[in-house]
Structure formats: C-alpha cells, structure tokens
Structure 1
Amino acid sequence: MPLLARMIPAPLVVDVRRGALGELAAILADQRISSSGRVAIAVGTTYGPVIRETFRHGLTGADWFTVDGCTINAAIRLVEQIRRQRYDAIVGVGGGTVLDVTKFAAARLGLPMVAVATNLAHDGIASPISTLDNDAGRGSYSVPAPIAVLVDLDLIGQAPAGSVRGGIGDIVSNLSATADWEAAHALRGEAIDGLAVSLSRTAAQAVIDHPGTVADDAFLTTLAEGLVLSGMAMVVAGTSRPSSGACHEISHAIDLLHPERRGFHGEQVGLGAAFAWFLRGDADRFHATVDCLHRHGLPVTPHQLGFTLDEFAEIVAFAPQTRPGRFTVLEEAALTPARLSAKIADFNDHAYARIQSPVTPEGKALDV
C-alpha cells in the first residue's frame, strides 16, 4: 500500500501572547506533560530570580537550575545535575543560550522539553538543533524539537532591542537559504522538501512584508510565529537546510575567525543573506532584504557589522569550510580572491547607496 501521508512531530502547544508564562503550570497539566508539576526548570542568570519568584507558589514540585554559558560543558553539567532526580520534563526559560543548553540536556536524558522564550534572537526556540560552543569553536547538535513553545510578549518587551532585532535577520535569511537549497537541487541533484521550503519561505515573507516594528505586539507575534515555523521547517526536512545556507556559513566563519567580535547571530546571517542575494545578481531580493534589515536597525554593510572590507573578504572566503559538503551560492560562485574583493566592494557600495536612497528607479540592474 502506498504511503499517503507522513507523520511530522510538532509542538503540542504554541502560545504567543502577553501573560503566556503565567499559564505554564496549567499547560503542563492540561497537555499531560506533567500533571504533578514535577519538572526541572532551567533558567539563565538574568531572568532566573524573577521567574522563580513568579512560580514560587504555582510549581512547588519543580526544581530549579541555573544555566551559565552556551557551551557543551554547561549542557553536560546540567545533565549531571538533573539526572540525580526523576522528572516528567525539562522546562527551559530564557534566551537562546538557555534553550540550546536545555534542549541538549533533555535529549541526553530522554525527557520532553518545553521552551519558554524570553527573547526572539533566532529560530532556535522551536528547532531540532542546539548550537553550543566546544573546544573546536562552535558546533550544531541534533536534538528533538520542544514539545511545547511559549512566548510571553511581556518578557520579550523587557529583552534588549538588539536581541529581538536579531530574530528579524535570522528569519529574513530563510529566503536566501531556500534559494541555496533549490540551487543545490537543480545543479547537484540534492533532495529537497517542498513543505519545508514553503514553511520557511512563508515565515520569512510574513516578517519582511509586515509594516510594524519591534515596539508593536502584532509585529512581535508575527516574528515569534515565523521563528516557530522556521524551526518546524527544519523538523520537516530533517536538516537545517531550509534555514541555513551561505548566510549561515558567513556567520559561522565570523564566529570561528573573530570570536571576540561576533555579534547577534541574526545580525550576521541577515548581512550574509544580503550579500548572497547580491552575489546571485537578484536585485529585487537584494533590495527587499537590505530595506527590511535597515528599517529594523540591523547592519547592511560590513562596516556596520564591525569589519573592514578586507576582513569581510577573508570571512567570506573561509565560510564554505564551516559546512563541508553544503552547496550554496558561495561554492557555486567559487570566486578568486581578487574577484571576491571586488565583489564585496561593489556590494558595500550598492548596500550603502540603497539605505541612502531606498527607492530605486524601476528596472535598475545590479552591476554583478
């Protein structure tokens, strides 16, 4: 009998609104994740004390653990602390650091994980990947996706604006990542998943087209839901392909070559996506990406990210080595050092000109 459908693991709950955190105990019980409230709750050093006080009377059966650092060692320490007792689930409450460490620990212990996001810096809130620093730099580890995702807009409003803007860059980069995947399919015969592409692309386009700002609940809701869909796209695909292409290779190169100067992940991949569109010669996508990044206060030139053009050329040249075997526009272009430097200088000029005069005469082509 032919397979007429496929089963896709998805969160039992996705709750994006103000006050969502206050419903944590009820969600754990109603969804039968933990009717007793016997859960391990991992928090960061910033919001941990406040969150613990919030649930002092509501989750009396919970034990609390503090995550200090986004490293593989921090994740293993959390595993060793939690395994001493029996729990129904692990709840991570925090930003990307806490959620990545908690997802890894939950995977090692075979427990379901609930993600409660306190910022929207990247699409890790619902993804099946933990990104952790290790002795070799930084690694991505495959883990089960969260069983429930809560985004409390009250907490998001208290997060640094830069961390929220970072999520915009991460989700916008999905359009470039899916373009890389489609090119790999057309030119190399790589398998592609149309549903994953649709989820990823739809999430990105919703954010790009939204007229709001990080000060608006409607925009934050669209961004949060888009980041969840981006994570789901990776679950569907069984790979980071729908959300990671040349844009992420460039970001990984920054992390490895200049760890002391790396910024928000979303800022790096957003700029990487803009450069990738320029490299493809797609004026419409390049303009749309630069316009969106600039409108929300994200960098659109290497200088705004803190790098000289020569440093950025070194970063782009090294980027393909961060994901051996992954075919993107960087591998397709295979530029010589001289040609790459010229291309980056041209990209910088076009990006700067665009933010000085966003309205471009119709039909104007990129000189690529």
Structure 2
Amino acid sequence: MIPTPVVVDVRRGAIADLAGLLADQRISAAGRVAIAVGPRSGEALAAQVRPYLSEAEFFPVADGTVDAALDLASRVRGGSYDAIVGIGGGKVLDATKFAATRVGLPMVAVATNLAHDGIGSPVSILDNDAGRGSYGVAAPLAVVVDLDVVRRAPARSVRAGIGEVASNLSAIADWELAQEVHGEPLDGLAVALARTSAEAVLHHPGTLTDDDFLRVLAEGLVLSGVAMVVAGSTRPCSGACHEISHAIDLLFPDRSGAHGEQVGVGAAFASTLWDDPDGRARGELITRCLVRHGLPVDPAGLGFTWEEFTAAVARAPETRPGRFTILEHRDLDQAGVAAAVREFARQLRESREG
C-alpha cells in the first residue's frame, strides 16, 4: 500500500470548496480542524475559509523553523481536532506536516505558491540551530491548489517550482548511475512519476500566465512528492543538484535564495559532468527551460560569484553522506572542481553567443 493523497484538487476557486472536500473525503465531517496559516497572507486566507468552517480554529505559524513547528504541535495537541490544514507557502506547509506527524493527525496541504515539491512530499525542510535540516514526516492526505491564490503570489516564488521539477531529470540520472555502479535498488514507479512530472513541465509550451501551465506545474510538484513516498526517500527528486543547493545554504546562509532556483542551476551544472550524449542533451533541455521561464542559469543569477559557486560544488558531497551522484562518481579534487566550473561557464557563454 502506498499512502498517496486521497484527493488532489488543482483549479480556480478550489479553496472555497475546502469544507466540502474535508466532509466528502471523511477527513472531518463537522469541519473540526486546526488550520495553520502564515504571517503574510494568512489572515486574508483565513477570512476566505472561515465562513465555510465555523468549527475550525486558526493558528499562525511564525516561520519555517523547528521551533515554530514544535510550537504548533504543542498548541494543537491541546484541542480535539480531526486533522490539521496548512494554508500557505513551503515554510507553513513544512511546519504543518511536521506538527501533524508529531501529534498523529492527518494533514491537508493548501498551497498558495508553487515554489517547491514539498506540497505533497513526505519531507519537511526546517531551519534549526545548525542551519537547515530535512525531516521525515507523513505525506499530506489531501492537496489543494487554488490557481486564483497562486496567481497572487510573487512570480519568483511560483517560477522557482519550475527549477525544482526540471531538476528531477538530473536526480534520476544520478539514481540510475548509483544502481549501475553500486547496485543501489531503484524503484521504477518512483522514477516514472518523477520523470513524467519533469517532462510535462519541460515540454509544455505555456508560461506562468497560463492556467494550463500552472496546473501542469502544480501536478508535477505533487507527483514529485508521491515519487518520494513510493521510493521511501528523496532519491527520485534529489541528486547532485540538491547537494549543491544544500551546500549553498550551508556556506552562505544569509544569502541563499529560492530553493528551486538553486537546484535548477545545480542541475544545469551537474549535467555538464557527464561525458555521454544523453547527459549533454539533458543539460541543454534543462537550461533552455530555465532561460525560457526567466530562471537563473548561472551563479550570477543566484547572486554568487563563480568562486563562491566553486566552493559550493566542492562542499556539496558532504551534505548528503551516503548518497551517490555524478559528483561522488567524478570524485573531483579542488582543482578538478574549479576546472569543471570553468567548463560550465564556457558552455554557457557559447550557448548565449550561439
């Protein structure tokens, strides 16, 4: 049995039907739920659902830290609720998933932007005293994406999700490499879900102004989360691309930016480390997608120098001990990393000039 969401509702006006979804799916017939909302648009969103959920109680979530998640769990534990509903961006949803798992309640994710694949994943990314950590949690029981609400989110936060989904191709290649070199078990269904979500976004002709593209992006992010549930790990969606992003977060915690942007650049770079035609084609496909949607394709677009990016690539393998990717396979020393980054820069220059 695979614990996938019982319902995925992606459309305009979906948030207005939240009460009906809870009742129809037997999550909470009376609407007795705890609703976690963020500090920015939380009150406005609460006002939208309060008329339909008079029995619900609302809990503000200060930020995406372990402390905030534990505080939410403590406050919810004192009540009698059928479920916890998280309404917000990635930080709110991750804190809510963590809290729901802590108190043993089902969680419903109502995403207000499409920045990353945490919408439906069994992982919470939370800040802690040591930086940022990944915590295994129960995946959401239901996922709601209201396209009207998503359209009101900052374009950058929605655009970042494109880099997140596109990077799946890089992560899958790393997983297949680990199977070939070390015999690591590979789950075909997880790969199929992650690859399908990536290719649907990479080949879609639309933009962020199109409802159809936003729907495909939202569904791709949800499918990525389900792929991780199937795999029992983040393997199908996290490889060298994510190691590089984690290294950026560790080395430059005050300057790291949108996760989806960082993994997009990480995937574009990692693809240049392969010496086969498939690797090069994969890199070109990812890079073209990033450029077409206005995402960064190089360190400068992320706000870093090439030297800082080189330092992040060198540090990247340390961020996920035991995970084998193209970075571990190449096993580059400092000089080798610097040469690989220079080659990446050269290829980008030639692509722009061409």
TM-score (norm 2): 0.98
Matched, 1:134 2:128: yes
Which deviates more from structure 2 when the two are superposed, residues 342-351 or residues 20-29?
342-351
The Cα shift of 1:339 comes to 1.9
CA distance in 1, matches of 2:82, 2:56: 10
Please list every run of 5 or more consecutive structure 1 residues that lacks an aligned counterpart in the other structure: 1-6, 358-368
CA distance in 1, matches of 2:260, 2:349: 20
Q: Give the alignment of 1:172-251 within 5 angstroms.
A: 172-251=166-245
* Equivalent residue number for residue 121 of structure 1: 115
CA distance in 2, matches of 1:145, 1:110: 12
* Equivalent residue number for residue 314 of structure 1: 311
CA distance in 2, matches of 1:236, 1:166: 24
How many residue pairs align between the two structures? 351
Q: Which SS does the other structure have where 1:260 is aligned?
A: coil
Q: Which SS does the other structure have where 2:9 is aligned?
A: strand
CA distance in 1, matches of 2:288, 2:216: 18
Q: Give the alignment of 1:331-346 within 5 angstroms.
A: 331-346=328-343
* Equivalent residue number for residue 75 of structure 1: 69
**Out of 74, 85, 88, which is 2:82 matched to?**
88
**Could you tell me the percent identity over the aligned residues?**
61
What letter is aligned with 2:284?
H
Q: Is the 8 A contact 2:194 2:223 kept in 1?
A: yes
* Equivalent residue number for residue 160 of structure 2: 166
Q: Deviations over 1:331-350 (max 9, x none)?
A: 01111211211210110121
CA distance in 2, matches of 1:70, 1:251: 18
Q: Is the 8 A contact 1:287 1:354 kept in 2?
A: no
The Cα shift of 1:352 comes to 3.2
State the Cα RMSD in Å: 0.8
What letter is aligned with 2:328?
E
* Equivalent residue number for residue 347 of structure 2: 350
CA spacing shift, 1:67–1:356, aligned 2, 3 Å: farther
The Cα shift of 1:60 comes to 0.7
**Out of 270, 274, 290, which is 2:287 matched to?**
290
Q: Deviations over 1:201-220 (max 9, x none)?
A: 01000100001101110100
What letter is aligned with 1:94?
G
**Out of 51, 57, 62, which is 1:57 matched to?**
51
Q: Is the 8 A contact 1:290 1:355 kept in 2?
A: no
What letter is aligned with 2:47?
E
The Cα shift of 1:57 comes to 2.0
CA distance in 1, matches of 2:352, 2:43: 42
Q: Is the 8 A contact 1:291 1:355 kept in 2?
A: no
The Cα shift of 1:356 comes to 4.3
Q: Which SS does the other structure have where 2:36 is aligned?
A: strand
What letter is aligned with 1:17?
R
